[in-house]
């Protein structure tokens, strides 16, 4: 064998082993950590279920009280959607029974046209319920809800209107990307392209107008309904119009990753990767990878964290790594999961109003839900744990 041939064999050898999925001892350790966190999650929600009255949904825990909300709150779907995931993991039928029951309470929302948040409210619980049980009655609700969401699409603007309140003419927030999966699924179910067209048009115009040159996203873009032109770009929940509100960045990352999955359009994948690169290299991201509530908050490091932004980001990065296998995406998701599973963020069982994570921030400028547990942080944390677990389990 000459030197060239030897080099070739060596290269092939390196390529073969670097592309093999080998579970390292760190991954074995992470699997144990994930199971421990999932057990804490099960224990907390087992207890939580005992005190949740019918038709109400636990949202947060403030001043020693669990705050319960009605079906019309944008977070109502996360409680039953989490129960579905916990049933999937534990096979505990108490989770199954309550997941079914609390999912069914949400059914009237299928005719509700007053918000863009129907993806969170309906697709998270009904989508999970369908995936886990195969019950086709859930599909009818998904389809009907898509009609309600589609009623908020204005073809002149090319976007779904986010909110009806306040002074904006046609506000669209980055969070709205999270509702497009509902439409894509309904398009497949109904075998027509209308919902798909609405979702893709919304994503395309978001791509055009919501992003800054560094791939961070504005929170809200306000449009003129007569011309479709942008009126202004601003924040509502972030520190300033030009800052990067942490959860908004995570919604965008997750939303464009899902849109690539649903459409195969590589421009969405490119944007998701650009967002991921911006976020994981951000100079204001602490070493434990749990962002402050806004990446540009003025008093960093003395600012509240937002575990919800971290959990959404971890879950998105695990999926993104399937389509763009950059090792940094997976490693970053692992760092987030390890941090959220530590005593710094994971509640002790029996505390925290039986929520799983501590230290989420809902709406700091409105002085609302600062440094508290919140149901959507728990939901995306459970999802990230299950996704990472499946990924590690599938490694040889």
Residue whose C-beta lies closest to ligand GLY: 175
Smaller CB distance to ligand GLY: residue 334 or 359? Answer: 359
How many C-alpha atoms does 281 have within 13 Å on its Cβ side?
10
Distance CA 177, CA 52 (A): 30
Query: Is 117 tagged catalytic?
Result: yes
Q: In 3-state terms, what secondary structure has residue 367?
A: coil
Least Å distance, CB 362 to ligand GLY, is 6
At 161, phi and psi to the nearest 5? Answer: -75, 130
Buried b (16+ CB within 10 A) or exposed e, 263-280: bebeebbebbbbbbebbb
Least Å distance, CB 326 to ligand GLY, is 26
Distance CA 272, CA 278 (A): 10
Least Å distance, CB 247 to ligand GLY, is 5
* Chain center to CA of 335: 17
Least Å distance, CB 265 to ligand GLY, is 24
Residues at the interface with ligand GLY (CB under 6 A) = 74, 175, 237, 247
Distance CA 88, CA 355 (A): 18
The secondary structure element, H or E, covering residue 13 is helix 3-19
User: 99 near 80, Cβ under 8 Å?
Assistant: yes
Least Å distance, CB 238 to ligand GLY, is 10
Smaller CB distance to ligand GLY: residue 175 or 294? Answer: 175
Least Å distance, CB 130 to ligand GLY, is 23
Map tokens 């019309």 to a residue: 72
Query: Which residue of the set 73, 175, 306, 378 is catalytic?
Result: 175
Query: Which residue of the set 73, 117, 294, 306 is catalytic?
Result: 117
How many C-alpha atoms does 334 have within 13 Å on its Cβ side?
16
Distance CA 58, CA 102 (A): 11
Map tokens 């199971």 to a residue: 35
User: 285 near 276, Cβ under 8 Å?
Assistant: no
Q: What is the DSSP letter of 342?
A: S
Least Å distance, CB 392 to ligand GLY, is 29
Smaller CB distance to ligand GLY: residue 175 or 378? Answer: 175
User: 60 near 361, Cβ under 8 Å?
Assistant: no
Smaller CB distance to ligand GLY: residue 215 or 237? Answer: 237
Distance CA 137, CA 142 (A): 9
Smaller CB distance to ligand GLY: residue 72 or 323? Answer: 72
User: 206 near 172, Cβ under 8 Å?
Assistant: yes
Least Å distance, CB 372 to ligand GLY, is 13
Smaller CB distance to ligand GLY: residue 87 or 239? Answer: 239
User: 251 near 180, Cβ under 8 Å?
Assistant: no
Q: Which two tokens stand for residue 157?
A: 């603007």
Q: How far is CA 329 from CA 87, 253, 316, 387, in A?
A: 28, 12, 9, 14
Give the residue numbers annotated as catalytic, written as ranges: 117, 175
């Amino acid at each position: 064998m000459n030197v060239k041939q030897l080099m070739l064999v060596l290269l092939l050898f390196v390529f073969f082993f670097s592309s093999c999925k080998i579970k390292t001892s760190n991954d074995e350790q992470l699997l144990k950590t994930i199971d421990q966190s999932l057990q804490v999650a099960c224990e907390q929600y087992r207890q939580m279920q005992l005190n949740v009255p019918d038709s109400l949904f636990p949202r947060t825990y403030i001043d020693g009280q669990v705050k319960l909300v009605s079906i019309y709150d944008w977070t109502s779907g996360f409680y039953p959607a989490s129960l579905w995931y916990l049933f999937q993991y534990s096979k505990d039928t108490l989770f199954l029974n309550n997941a079914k029951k609390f999912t069914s309470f949400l059914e009237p929302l299928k005719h509700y046209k007053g918000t863009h948040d129907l993806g969170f409210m309906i697709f998270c619980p009904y989508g999970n319920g369908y995936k886990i049980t195969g019950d086709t009655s859930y599909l009818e609700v998904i389809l009907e809800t898509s009609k309600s969401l589609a009623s908020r699409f204005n073809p002149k603007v090319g976007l779904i209107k986010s909110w009806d309140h306040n002074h904006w003419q046609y506000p669209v927030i980055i969070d709205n990307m999270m509702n497009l999966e509902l439409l894509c699924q309904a398009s497949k179910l109904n075998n027509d392209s209308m919902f798909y067209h609405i979702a893709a048009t919304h994503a395309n115009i978001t791509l055009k107008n919501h992003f800054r040159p560094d791939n961070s996203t504005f929170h809200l873009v306000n449009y003129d309904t007569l011309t479709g032109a942008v009126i202004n770009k601003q924040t509502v929940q972030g520190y300033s119009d030009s800052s990067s509100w942490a959860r908004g960045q995570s919604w965008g990352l997750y939303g464009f990753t899902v849109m690539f999955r649903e459409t195969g359009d590589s421009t969405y994948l490119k944007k998701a990767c650009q967002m991921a690169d911006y976020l994981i290299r951000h100079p204001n991201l602490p070493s434990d990878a749990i962002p402050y509530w806004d990446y540009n908050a003025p008093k960093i490091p003395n600012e509240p964290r937002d575990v919800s932004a971290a959990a959404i980001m971890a879950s998105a990065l695990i999926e993104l790594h399937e389509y763009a296998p950059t090792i940094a995406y997976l490693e970053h998701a692992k760092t987030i999961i390890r941090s959220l599973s530590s005593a710094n963020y994971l509640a002790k069982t029996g505390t925290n109003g039986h929520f799983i994570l501590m230290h989420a921030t809902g709406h700091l400028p409105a002085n609302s839900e600062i440094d508290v547990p919140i149901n959507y942080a728990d939901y995306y944390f459970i999802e990230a744990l299950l996704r990472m677990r499946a990924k590690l389990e599938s490694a040889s």
